[in-house]
């Protein structure tokens, strides 16, 4: 298996370890995914080799190939080098100056109220927040409009900028690999489209500590059902494929979003229009305007309002 296949096998594994500079391509990030599309044909040939052992293969070799075949599963997302360094250094995702700072934020305007209500009711039931439609009831209502909300257009993590749909300068980085599970930021990653970033700080009468959350509003995609050659764990390229069908918007903790990705449209026979997510490591250099936008001293703390009680 490691004879004539070593050339492109090493090519793929180097890429899986995040060293894009070692790949023979034109150096443009937007073209890396299409370069990978061409290599998938070679991976398909490798899958064919795994499925068809040589006539003189030993019992040990056949057993190893059978193990690979039985262990076939969709790739769960790849831990890239920059992410590993960030975890080791305990780096945190940083947010810039809020959008429309100092204004009353209307969550209905951003189609974010219903997802936020579902999130706090599911994960923080002790606060007892009710729909604002029941304002005459005894339970505290989650406000639709409040200065306790802050909206952000993008976030920065170890040199990579996650951009939401509200970020007007680019449309290229609106996807990320994120864990769906609240409380498990390092769980299996899935492709999602970023809608916005939100921080909240709310108080209720019966709990002393305020509810402080920093969240991302995302749309996960429907996973593809077809079988693809890169689903073998031993040739994991950090590739996942999804149907181009977006699920309803949902909030996740911002710490669940740590992996960058390149997304490529693809037409498939099994699943129709799809998006292919290729885990990649971007160059970890933050332009100066990113750092300035995220610096604490650029945020006027005196303008922040006090906690609001509901």
Of 70, 103, 121, the last residue of a domain is 70
Give a yes or no: residue 203 inside a domain. yes
* Confidence at residue 190, expressed as pLDDT on a 0 to 100 scale: 85
Pair (10, 140) in one structural domain: no
Q: What is the pLDDT of residues 167-181, one digit of tens each?
A: 877 666 788 888 888
34/163 same-domain check: no
Backbone angles phi, psi at 176, to 5 degrees: -150, 160
**17 and 105 assigned to the same domain:** no
- 144: tokens are 């639709």
Mean of the pLDDT values across residues 204-233?
84
**Phi and psi, residue 266, nearest 5°:** -150, 135
**Candidate from 62-66, 94-98, 126-130, 188-192 with smallest mean pLDDT:** 62-66
pLDDT at 192: 92
Task: Please count the structural domains in the chain.
Answer: 2
Q: Are residues 233 and 141 in the same domain?
A: yes
Identify whether 23 is part of a domain.
Answer: yes
How crowded is residue 165: how many other Cβ atoms within 10 Å of its Cβ? Answer: 15
147 CB-near residues (< 8 Å, 6+ apart): 102, 103, 104, 105, 305, 308
Better-predicted residue by pLDDT, 158 or 15: 158
Q: With left for phi above 0 and alpha for psi between -120 and 50, is residue 158 left, alpha or beta?
A: left
Handedness of CA 299, 301, 306, 307 (dihedral sign): positive
Indicate the burial class of 235 (C-beta count within 10 angstroms; 0-12, 13-18, 19 or more): buried
Domain around 12? 6-70
Higher pLDDT among residues 89 and 286, named by residue: 89
75 occurs within a structural domain: no
Whole-prediction pTM: 0.66
Question: Domain for residue 151, yes or no?
Answer: yes
Same domain, 28 and 129: no
Strand intervals (E) in the chain: 105-106, 145-146, 149-152, 154-157, 160-163, 175-179, 189-204, 207-223, 239-246, 250-253, 257-259, 261-268, 272-279, 308-309
Asked if residue 154 is part of any domain, the answer here is: yes
Gap between the Cα atoms of 241 and 230, Å rounded: 10
What pLDDT band is residue 292 in, cutting at 50, 70 and 90?
A: very low
Residue 176 lies in a domain: yes
Same domain, 207 and 247: yes
Residue 186 domain flag = yes
Answer yes or no: is pLDDT of 266 > 90. Answer: no
Decide if 62 is inside a domain: yes
Question: What pLDDT score was predicted for residue 7?
Answer: 37
Contact yes or no for 229/47 (Cβ under 8 A)? yes
Inform me whether the pLDDT recorded for 295 exceeds 80.
Answer: no
Pairing verdict, β 207-223 and 250-253: antiparallel
Residues 174, 245 within the same domain: yes
How many angstroms separate the CA atoms of 251 and 151, rounded?
A: 13
């Amino acid at each position: 298996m490691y004879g004539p296949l070593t050339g492109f096998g090493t090519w793929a594994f180097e890429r899986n370890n995040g060293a894009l500079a070692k790949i023979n391509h034109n150096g443009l990030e937007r073209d890396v995914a299409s370069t990978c599309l061409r290599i998938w044909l070679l991976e398909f040939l490798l899958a064919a080799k795994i499925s068809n052992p040589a006539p003189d293969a030993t019992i040990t070799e056949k057993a190893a190939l059978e193990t690979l075949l039985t262990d076939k599963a969709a790739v769960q997302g790849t831990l890239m080098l920059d992410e590993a360094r960030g975890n080791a250094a305990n780096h945190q995702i940083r947010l810039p100056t809020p959008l429309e700072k100092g204004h009353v934020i209307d969550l209905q305007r951003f189609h974010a109220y219903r997802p936020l209500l579902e999130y706090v009711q599911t994960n923080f039931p002790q606060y007892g927040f009710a729909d604002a439609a029941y304002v005459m009831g005894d339970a505290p209502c989650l406000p639709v409009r409040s200065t306790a909300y802050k909206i952000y257009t993008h976030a920065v993590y170890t040199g990579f900028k996650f951009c939401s749909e509200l970020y007007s300068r680019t449309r290229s980085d609106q996807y990320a690999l994120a864990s769906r599970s609240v409380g498990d930021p390092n769980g299996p990653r899935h492709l999602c489209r970023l809608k916005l970033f939100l921080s909240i700080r709310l108080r209720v009468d019966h709990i002393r500590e305020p509810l402080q959350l920093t969240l991302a509003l995302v749309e996960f995609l429907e996973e593809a059902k077809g079988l693809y050659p890169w689903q073998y764990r031993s040739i994991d390229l950090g590739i996942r494929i999804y149907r181009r069908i977006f699920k309803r918007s949902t909030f996740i903790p911002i710490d669940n979003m740590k992996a960058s990705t390149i997304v490529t449209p693809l037409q498939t026979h099994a699943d129709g229009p799809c998006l292919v997510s290729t885990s990649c490591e971007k160059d970890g250099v933050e332009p100066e305007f990113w750092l300035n936008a995220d610096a604490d001293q650029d945020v006027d703390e005196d303008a922040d309002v006090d906690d609001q009680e509901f």
